[in-house]
Amino acid sequence: MIGDSPADETLVVEALTRGGYDVAHQRVNDSEALTAALGRRASSIAIVDATVTGVPAAVALDLIRVHDADLPCIVIADWGGDEAVVAAMRCGARDFILKRHLERLAPAVDRELGEAGARRERRRAEKRLAYLAYHDPLTDLPNRLLLHDRLAQALRVAARTSTSLALLILDLNGFKEINDTLGHHAGDRLLQCVASRVRGMLRDADTVARLGGDEFAIVLPVTDVNGALLTAEKVLHEIEQPCVIDHRALSVRSSLGISCFPEHGTSAEALLQRADVAMYVAKSDRVGIAVYAPSQDRHTHRRLTLISELRTGLDENQFTLEYQPIVHLPTNVVTGVEALVRWNHPKQGRVMPDGFIHLAEQTGLINPLTTIILETAIREWSQPPPVPPLTVAVNLSPRTLQDPGLPRRIADMLAVYGAPPQSLALEITENILMSDPVRSMDCLKGLHEMGVRIVIDDFGTGYSSLSYLRRLPVDELKIDRSFITGLLEGADDVIVRSTIDLAHNLGLTVVAEGVESDEVHARLMALGCDAVQGTFIRAPAPMAEVRAWIGSQNLLGLM
């Protein structure tokens, strides 16, 4: 309490006690004492007497705001009029109460403590989302976006000081087999183990980032080729040591490519490209470590072969779709499916998207591949149309969204198969507008005006901001599976709850992906999530299997 009168302090404490509070309190009456008290202990609420002489109420409120912007403040006064109330509110007070009506104090405190808690939780969620825009949520390492920034900064320093710099790209060998045989949980734990070990053996000035999947990058300032080779050998040796996961010792080897400034490039893009080429050489030649050489070129024999096979696969219809159901939580009825592409490679067998989507984007083959996926998904779910109607969701690449002819092509596909626009949902990532915002936004608006649903996929792992969200013509948010995985441990409970509240306040529906247990399913229902998908509901499967399953599932849900 900021005030001069011990008697008023007693009245305030008595009013709060009658309201059911156990009050620990302190009264101060000048700026120095207020600053010391704020720094000494955390307070739940501040009561400011408008008539205090040692420090004006406006000054006291300003000092409180500097210390804790979310601390609720209530002004009390012997007298009051409209001007006094307005003045108090302008200074940051949350309420204004006359001393003769202190019976209003406890209800006001009830309300303000609740709102302050909500504000603090929202700030924590926003801070976490801002952090995750530049960090990988699984490993807590910098992501690709932050790596580019760190690498560019390190290159500027190296150029200015005439020093060298090394970039290492690392890929785990056989990681897909671990995921396939032991499940994503074991794969995630292994990635966390590798990330922790590599980060622990590097210098403070070094950066290790996760680029995605099982690929990592390491930036080594003031390091030449010889130093990079020495570090690479230590990294490979460290990774080869077994990781104990669920009482099982798992060992994994890796391939590592090196590029150096200034020998191999002077820009972040050039070094990343050439370290990537060197990594592919190390992987294909099974040598563990390779330093980039111009003779390798970025189009190595292996990559050229894969590009040729990708083109052949498109021509010969080697790509098929599996579908994962999306279940409406309150009714347990299936309301949609997500289309997931698979490559039936004639030699490698069934290849998952991680094995070819990145290459398709690099080579421009992503647009014809997306056309195949869209046409197949619309055709398979419109002949005959499911009852009740479902939405089929297809993921869009940023490159595809920059195609001004996309809305027209989708409209033609829908017309050919007699499918209503609302039966199609297009999933985009939060960063999709970064490269060409004008063309991407025009395309999105055109699709949305047609009636096609727009979904933000992997929400929370990209550039998350309220102003950014409001710019997008979006119908739905999908919470990334990395948040759902840690939900029961409480790590991301605030993020998930705040995301659901944010989406609902914006008039959007929320889907949680990666639901793998009954406990997580129940927690999401309690948090008010609209829909879920994941292996707990149904693993992806061909259209005929999923149609049959949906029929029985919806029959149960509607009973």
Q: What pLDDT, on a 0 to 100 scale, did the predictor assign at position 468?
A: 62
pLDDT tens per residue across span 501-518:
888 988 999 999 989 889
Alpha-carbon 156 to chain mean position:
29
What is the CATH number assigned to the segment(s) 6-132?
Answer: 3.40.50.2300
Q: What pLDDT, on a 0 to 100 scale, did the predictor assign at position 475?
A: 92
On whether the CB atoms of residues 180 and 186 are closer than 8 A, the answer is no
CA distance 552 to 392: 19
Q: Which of 14-28, 93-107, 176-190 has the highest mean pLDDT?
A: 14-28
Residue 83, pLDDT > 70, answer no
* The pair of three-digit structure tokens given for residue 29, joined into one six-digit string: 């009456």
CA distance 105 to 25: 15
CA distance 539 to 338: 11
User: Tell me, what DSSP letter sits at residue 142?
Assistant: B
Task: Give me the long-range contacts of 37-45 (CB less than 8 A, separation at least 24).
Answer: 38/63, 38/64, 38/67, 38/68, 39/67, 43/68, 43/71, 44/113, 44/116, 45/71, 45/72, 45/73, 45/74, 45/109, 45/112, 45/113, 45/116
What is the CATH number assigned to the segment(s) 324-341+367-558?
Answer: 3.20.20.450
Average pLDDT over residues 362-383: 90
Q: What pLDDT, on a 0 to 100 scale, did the predictor assign at position 68?
A: 83
Top-confidence residue, 98 or 80: 98
For the ranges 13-22, 269-278, 301-310, 346-355, the lowest mean pLDDT is seen at: 301-310
Q: What pLDDT, on a 0 to 100 scale, did the predictor assign at position 160?
A: 95
CA distance 25 to 22: 10
Residue 65, pLDDT > 90, answer no
On whether the CB atoms of residues 115 and 77 are closer than 8 A, the answer is no
pLDDT tens per residue across span 435-449:
556 778 888 999 999
Q: Is 134 exposed, middle or buried (0-12, 13-18, 19+ CB in 10 A)?
A: middle
Asked whether the domain spanning 324-341+367-558 has the same topology as the one spanning 144-298, the reply is no
On whether the CB atoms of residues 390 and 424 are closer than 8 A, the answer is no
For the full predicted model, state whether its pTM sits above 0.85.
Answer: no
Top-confidence residue, 141 or 281: 141
Q: How confident is the model at residue 234 (pLDDT cuts 50, 70, 90)?
A: very high
Residue 363, pLDDT > 80, answer no
pLDDT tens per residue across span 152-163:
999 999 999 999
Residue 559, pLDDT > 50, answer no
Give residue limits of the domains in the chain.
Answer: 6-132, 144-298, 324-341+367-558
pLDDT tens per residue across span 458-474:
776 655 555 566 778 88
CA distance 236 to 259: 17
Residue 535, pLDDT > 60, answer yes
Residue 53, pLDDT > 80, answer no
* 144-298 fold: Alpha-Beta Plaits (3.30.70)
For the ranges 146-160, 345-359, 509-523, the lowest mean pLDDT is seen at: 345-359
pLDDT, mean over the chain: 87
Q: What pLDDT, on a 0 to 100 scale, did the predictor assign at position 376?
A: 96
Residue 2, pLDDT > 80, answer yes
Q: Is 228 exposed, middle or buried (0-12, 13-18, 19+ CB in 10 A)?
A: buried
On whether the CB atoms of residues 383 and 418 are closer than 8 A, the answer is no
pLDDT over 70 for what percent of the chain?
Answer: 92
